[in-house]
Amino acid sequence: MTDLLAAKTRAQPIPDSTIAEMASDMERDGYCCLPSYVSGKDLVQMQEFASAIIRQSGRTSLSLNRSEQFSGTKFEALANSERFQEIFSRLYEIALQKPSPEVNFYQVLRCLTGEDMARESFIFHYDSFLITALLPVIIPKKGRRGDFIMFPNTRGVRSAYLINLIDKMLVDNRISQWILKRVAQSGYFGMKRISLVPGNLYFFWGYRSIHTNEPCDPDQLRSTALYHFADPHIDSPLKARLRR
């Protein structure tokens, strides 16, 4: 997506043609990129926050996923932006052809370095949420950079949570993980490898796409922010029972 079209997503309201083009890119290419969506001081503050929390934790991998952990940060400010939220609601309406629910994010900040880098990489999965926005915060500039790997749009939105659960079980097992890793390394069968750029914003149908990240070199830090929206099975009685 061009810088000009990315700029249109900052307009209020966002033109219908812009959202339609984003959705078309996600269907055709598997993802849509808005270049330099976060830049300048905002990006620097995000990078400083990510570097500080991994350093202060004394760990080599860390994930934040509670809303209070983002309080007062640029990550929270982005999540609360009406224009940012509008992108998700409009994409939802195009995808499901019905009004969008209120935009509430399941927000994650991942920081990986050291020996955990390999252990936390090449874990192929479907998201539980229809739309995912991936914001690279810190990406290594040398060696292995932790490219984003995806097999886009390999399933539709399931009518029942049980079918969704079966899909996930078919992916989340040793044999499937081994096969997917080998296929990803070969670059065949519609696999996409995306070299992430800090500050760019990448949208994809997380629920429908099998995806993961490659490892970086252990002496490097990789940090990404994820904004998930719209669980198609949020009202499933089976899901509620399994969570008890």
What are 85-118's pLDDT values in tens digits? 999 999 999 999 999 999 999 999 999 987 777 7
CATH 2.60.120.620 fits domain 3-232 = yes
Per-10-residue mean pLDDT, the chain, length 244: 59 80 96 94 96 90 93 96 95 94 96 80 95 97 91 96 96 96 84 95 98 91 96 92 82
Q: Which amino acid is at 2?
A: T
11 membership: H or E segment, kind and range: none
pLDDT of residue 243: 82
Summary mean pLDDT of the chain: 91
Q: Which residues of 29-49 are buried (b: 16+ CB within 10 A; e: fewer)?
A: ebbbbbeebbeeeebeebbeb
pLDDT of residue 6: 60
Whether the pTM exceeds 0.95: the reply is: no
Name the residue ranges covered by the structural domains of the chain.
3-232
